Amino acid sequence: MYKSFSGQNVLRDINFNIQSNEKLALIGSNGSGKTTLLKIISGILQPSSGTVFYDNINIHIPSSKKPSIGAAFNESMLDERMTVMENLQFYQSMISGDNDSTEISLLLKTFNIKNLNNVLIKNLSKGMKQRAVLIRALLNQENQSLLLLDEPSNNLDIDAKEILLKNVLQNTKKTIIAATHDIQNINRWATSVIELKNGRAILTNLKN
Amino acid sequence: MKQLTILFKKDIFLFWRDTSSWIAGLAFGVISIILYALAIDIFILEIQLILPGLMWVTFLFCGILITSNSFENELNEGFIDGLRIMNVPMVFIAISKILVNFIFIFSTEMVLIFISVLFFNIEIKSYTMLIPISFITLGFVSLLTCLSPISYKAPTGTIITYIFGIPLLIPLILAATKITYSLFGITVLENHWLLLGILFSFWQIIMSVILFQFIINE
């Protein structure tokens, strides 16, 4: 797969497979194309050439049956004019069609922001907002098959980083692709690593 | 369809909560009508002859004020990308916003028509004309709503909406003005104006929804 912006190649000859429940860490310096790659996998961006297949389904064909994806990117994808709870309930009902807030309450408790559920997103600190972003990405866990995270530990304090590591990255039984600069902790959760350098990918299997 | 209903509920709730745009539109309209009443000497000029045209120019600018920031919050923090990941059709996002903007702009028009009746000593003679007026409003609201992401994305901001929007709306505003003459019983409506208004509105709605998907993806 290739991706270029205004004639400049951001991703070149990217070609890799990942297995179900595999946990892949994307590393690389700033501007190496990690976010672009995640956005292409999520379907937000179209590749310039090539495609992404999920269970042999081309996810870039509009009519295709796409997998249920959870994503936490640099943009919060939350509406700043709504409270934490309103945002999460909106997403919950859009995904599953019901208003059951059991899962939301559980996640709010896990990430220690239950007391902030009635606060507007625009009034949250960066760290608290990042927690809300992660909760949004984790909604509908039962049916979710792929989790895409772009520097998920950004703005988080040490406690929240541990929560992320233990409750999401280590113990979640689903495929995870996460871009990260937190190299020290990769061994604690990732099964393989892709390093992006000048838009090209170098794959390392940590199990070997 | 359930996703469309949830989106619509969210949009109408936030439009009501975030009062800035609809209050700006309503205030602009009310002040304009009051200014016309003060500036035009109704003993010298037969106000009925120019009022429908003035009203539609006012409605148009109210519409631009109300719709210009329609997608600002959604585009700011990647909210639309969040919906895209959940496979929500872009058409649903457009339809939901168009309906919400239509409700508020049509309500504003009704308030302004009522104020005009009070200030200019005119009467509504044919209430059935409110039906084509509502449809024409839906037509021009569709176009302005779907062009509004351009005003967010382009450095020249809202001016782009004026440049693209107003020329495309001229036939619609002409037909609407003629229908408004008939609303006040000033002239009898000729059918071809009604037909032009309805057909052009229909075309605007379809074209806007299709166009929106390209604008939002750029």
Which residue, B94, B69, B131, is CA-closest to B210? B94
Residue A147, helix vs strand vs coil: strand
A43 touches B at CB < 8 Å? yes
Show the tokens assigned to B84: 């895209």
Measured between beta carbons, which residues in chain B are less than 8 angstroms from residue A95?
86
**Domain assignment present for A58:** yes
Place of tokens 């600190």: A125
pLDDT at residue B42 in the model: 67
Half-sphere exposure of A83 (CA within 13 A, CB side): 11
Residue B20 near residue B104, CB atoms below 8 Å: no
A77 to B3: CB separation less than 8 angstroms, yes or no? no
The CA distance from B56 to B112, in Å, is 10
B2 touches A at CB < 8 Å? yes
Measured between beta carbons, which residues in chain A are less than 8 angstroms from residue B4?
none
Burial class (CB in 10 A: 0-12, 13-18, 19+), B191: exposed
Q: Could you say which of B77, B84, B85 has the minimum Cβ distance to residue A80?
A: B77
**Domain assignment present for A102:** no
CATH number, residue A169: 3.40.50.300
Where residue A202 falls among pLDDT bands split at 50, 70, 90?
Answer: confident
Q: Could you say which of A66, A79, A94 has the minimum Cβ distance to residue B6?
A: A94
**Percent of chain A with pLDDT strictly greater than 90:** 18
Where residue A170 falls among pLDDT bands split at 50, 70, 90?
Answer: confident
Burial class (CB in 10 A: 0-12, 13-18, 19+), B131: exposed
B44's CB contacts (< 8 A; 6+ apart) are none
Place of tokens 């599953």: A96
Provide the 8-state DSSP code for A81: T
CA distance A77 to chain B (A): 4
Interface predicted TM-score of the whole assembly (ipTM), two decimals? 0.85
**Domain assignment present for A86:** no
Show the tokens assigned to B71: 């997608």
Q: Residue A176 pairs with which residues in a beta bridge?
A: A23, A147
Q: Could you say which of A42, A78, A79 has the minimum Cβ distance to residue B14?
A: A79
pTM of the full structure: 0.87
pLDDT at residue B92 in the model: 92
Residue of B90 and A171 predicted with greater confidence: B90
How many residue contacts between A and B have a Cβ separation below 8 Å?
A: 56
Measured between beta carbons, which residues in chain B are less than 8 angstroms from residue A39?
81
Residue A149, helix vs strand vs coil: strand
The chain A residue lying nearest B19, using CA atoms, is A81
Provide the 8-state DSSP code for A181: S
The mean of the pLDDT values for chain B is 86
pLDDT digit string, tens, across residues A111-130: 888 888 889 998 989 999 99
Q: Give, to the nearest 10 degrees, the angle between helix B158-183 and helix B130-153.
A: 170
Domain boundaries, chain B: 2-216
Which residue range(s) make up the domain with A44? 3-75+138-205
- Taking residues B85-108, report their average pLDDT: 91
Pick from B8, B9, B79 the residue to mutate for testing the A interface (most A CBs within 10 Å): B79
Count structural domains, chain A: 1
**Domain assignment present for A93:** no
B90 touches A at CB < 8 Å? no
Buried b (16+ CB within 10 A) or exposed e, B145-155: bbbbbbbbeee
B3 to A94: CB separation less than 8 angstroms, yes or no? yes
Sheet holding A175-179, edge to edge: A69-72, A146-150, A175-179, A23-27, A192-197, A200-205
**Domain assignment present for A175:** yes
Show the tokens assigned to B171: 């036939």
B82 touches A at CB < 8 Å? yes
A173's CB contacts (< 8 A; 6+ apart) are A21
Place of tokens 């996703």: B3
The mean of the pLDDT values for chain A is 85
pLDDT digit string, tens, across residues B138-170: 998 998 888 888 777 776 766 776 777 788 888
Residue B80 near residue B148, CB atoms below 8 Å: no
- DSSP β-ladder status, A146-150 and A69-72: parallel
Please say if the pLDDT value at position A98 is more than 80. Answer: no
- Taking residues A19-42, report their average pLDDT: 89
The chain A residue lying nearest B9, using CA atoms, is A90
CA distance A208 to chain B (A): 33
B86 to A95: CB separation less than 8 angstroms, yes or no? yes
Measured between beta carbons, which residues in chain A are less than 8 angstroms from residue B87?
66
Residue B40 near residue B116, CB atoms below 8 Å: no
Where residue B190 falls among pLDDT bands split at 50, 70, 90?
Answer: confident
Measured between beta carbons, which residues in chain A are less than 8 angstroms from residue B100?
none
Show the tokens assigned to B180: 């408004």
Alpha-carbon distances, residue B166 vs A40, A52, B141, B160, B162 (angstroms): 37, 41, 12, 10, 6
Show the tokens assigned to A131: 């927690």
Q: Residue A70 pairs with which residues in a beta bridge?
A: A147
